[in-house]
Amino acid sequence: MLKMWQQSLRIGENMGSPNMTSISVSFDVRRQLNSMRAMGNHKSVDELLAQILQEYRMAQLRAEADKLRSRLRDIGQTDVEALVQRLGQSPYGG
């Protein structure tokens, strides 16, 4: 659903003329949302938008979780003995 919304927005960028009013753009966006609502079997545009926002947030959370997993994997591969040795050679080491 999120990909369909993003594609719809890209299509909308090329529609109309530079002289279109905000009312014209709003009508076009409303028409696209209603089409997406019907294709997705949603009861309302609000329900559609809620689902799109949820999918977007979940995608962001997955990306963050992937970054954290990667950093934890890097930490797990750290040579602790070499790190302690380097810290011992530091002018601030005790």
The predicted-structure confidence for 37-56, as pLDDT tens digits, reads as follows 999 889 998 898 899 999 99
Q: Is residue 4 a contact partner of residue 16, using CB atoms and an 8 Å limit?
A: no
Average pLDDT for 16-38: 76
Give the HSE-up count for residue 52: Cα atoms under 13 Å, Cβ half-sphere: 20
Handedness of CA 6, 18, 37, 60 (dihedral sign): positive
Q: Please, which pLDDT band fits residue 70 given cuts at 50, 70 and 90?
A: very high
Confidence at residue 65, expressed as pLDDT on a 0 to 100 scale: 98
Nearest to 49 by CA among 19, 23, 29: 29
Rounded Cα distance between 13 and 57, Å, is 23
Answering whether pTM is above 0.75, one says no
Query: Is residue 12 scored above 50 in pLDDT?
Result: no
Q: Is residue 55 a contact partner of residue 62, using CB atoms and an 8 Å limit?
A: no
Mean pLDDT of the chain: 80
